[in-house]
Amino acid sequence: MPRHHVLLLLVLQCLLLPLIACAQPASGPVEGQDYVVIPDGQRWSSADDRIEVAEIFAYTCHHCAEFQPQLDTWKRKQPADVRVSQVPAAFSPGDNYARACFAAQQLGVLDKLHAPLFRAIHAAQTVPMSHASADELAAFAAGEGIDTAKFKAAMASPAVDAMMQRARQFAIASGLRGTPTLVVDGKYRVQAASHEQALRIAGQLVAMERAARKRP
């Protein structure tokens, strides 16, 4: 190869090295890029002291429907010090989908109903995509073996009223921009371009929070 071609290749390699370095993944999440610190952030649940990963979602959101099985798989892989919580984006007291979620939580059957409700809305289309009534959602729950009267009563209960209000406050305080959104321990709102990236960043933030807890 002529000498001037070799020199040209060396020059091009030198120019490309900074770009290659920039393309390498960072060792940890970058504030302002991968996550946002939530001022005075509060955890969704104080049920225990595990590191909380709260998903703010909506049953009618097709992105949330796509994300649900990925998050479920990720959740099963987490160690015992991590808790994944589902928080519906309840901006309206009349949002029956959010009420159904909280009713299922109250009855201890959310794990049983969560994925099937997504499928009923987005795949089977046996539950309306919008403005589902309490009767329609209770009928869905009955199909999954849940007592209709108990489910409707839970949806209309003062406890669910309170959870709806809390969920709205949590979403606003977290700076919710869209669904699904992951919030780690009430402190960090994940920002990502894909579901896979969101889970990777959440895992990094969990590790960061775990390390912070161990410091004296």
Terminal CA-CA length for the chain = 61
Question: pLDDT by residue (tens digit) across 149-196?
Answer: 999 999 999 999 999 999 999 999 999 999 999 999 999 999 999 999
Closest of 45, 39, 32, 37 to residue 82, by C-alpha: 45
Residue ranges of domains in the chain, CATH in brackets: 30-214 (3.40.30.10)
- Of 127, 64, 142, 122, which is closest to residue 96 (Cα–Cα)? 127
**Mean pLDDT for the chain overall:** 90
Under the banding of pLDDT at 50, 70 and 90, the label for residue 203 is: very high
Average pLDDT of the residues in 58-73: 98
Helix (H), strand (E) at residue 184: strand 181-184
For 135-155, the pLDDT digits (tens) are 999 999 999 999 999 999 999
C-beta of residue 35 within 8 angstroms of C-beta of residue 190: yes
